[in-house]
Amino acid sequence: MANKTKKLRRAFTLYELVVVIALFALVGGMVTSFIVFMGNYSRTSERQSQRVSELTQLRGELDTWFSFADSSQSALEFPEQGDVLVRAGDMSLSCTRGEGQSEFTFDYGGERTQTLTFENEYILHFYTEGQVSVSGENVLIRFTLSMRVQGGAYACEVSYV
């Protein structure tokens, strides 16, 4: 009989098996939660870095276009209607939005045309000196474009839809 109890003691009890299975389930749930969290964090980080890259491109091209417009003999005009946001003689800056993307066309008056297409929808607002911003909470960046030759400064806001 001593031999029989010795053989029985070598096996796991039902309680021990249930505890081990519960611990495996707990650890598995924690690992799964961590993987889901890191996936969401990665997607959010990717969207933010894409947005920063797009805004950097847009800001650079805006600076270039306004420096060309500043050296032209034409004053800036801000049409109220249509896709054209600002015009300086035969130069223009226009924006077309739709279906989750934006397209900005920088026309340098026959010299060259630069088109930037983004996967996010952006709205570009210009304000002359003394005007107050009317944009809401969706503003991503605000900056000032200073005209050196013609004088004056214009506030610019880029916001998303």
CA atoms within 13 Å, Cβ hemisphere of 81: 0
Here the tokens at position 145 are: 């474009």
Residue 38's pLDDT is 93
Does 68 fall in a domain?
Answer: yes
Q: With CA atoms as reference, report the closest residue to 50 among 102, 99, 97.
A: 102
The total of structural domains in the chain comes to 1
**C-alpha–C-alpha distance, residues 74 and 54, integer Å:** 29
Q: Is the pLDDT of residue 50 over 70?
A: yes
Residue 136's pLDDT is 64
The answer to whether the beta carbons of residues 121 and 82 sit under 8 Å apart is: no
Does 113 fall in a domain?
Answer: yes
Does 112 fall in a domain?
Answer: yes
Range of the domain at 105: 39-160
Each residue's pLDDT tens digit, 53-107: 989 999 999 999 988 888 888 888 888 788 888 998 889 999 998 888 899 999 9
Does 104 fall in a domain?
Answer: yes
Does 43 fall in a domain?
Answer: yes
For residue 93, the 8-state DSSP code is E
Residue 2's pLDDT is 56
Phi then psi for residue 39, to 5 deg, are -65, -45
**C-alpha–C-alpha distance, residues 154 and 147, integer Å:** 8
Residue 135's pLDDT is 60
The arithmetic mean of pLDDT across residues 6-27, rounded, is: 85
Q: With CA atoms as reference, report the closest residue to 160 among 27, 4, 50.
A: 50
The arithmetic mean of pLDDT across residues 15-41, rounded, is: 94
| pTM as predicted | 0.71
Does 148 fall in a domain?
Answer: yes
Q: Is the pLDDT of residue 36 over 90?
A: yes
Q: Is the pLDDT of residue 161 over 80?
A: no
Does 18 fall in a domain?
Answer: no
Does 7 fall in a domain?
Answer: no
Each residue's pLDDT tens digit, 101-145: 899 999 998 778 899 998 888 888 888 776 666 666 778 888 888
Measured CA angle at 102 (ends 96, 106), to 5 deg: 65
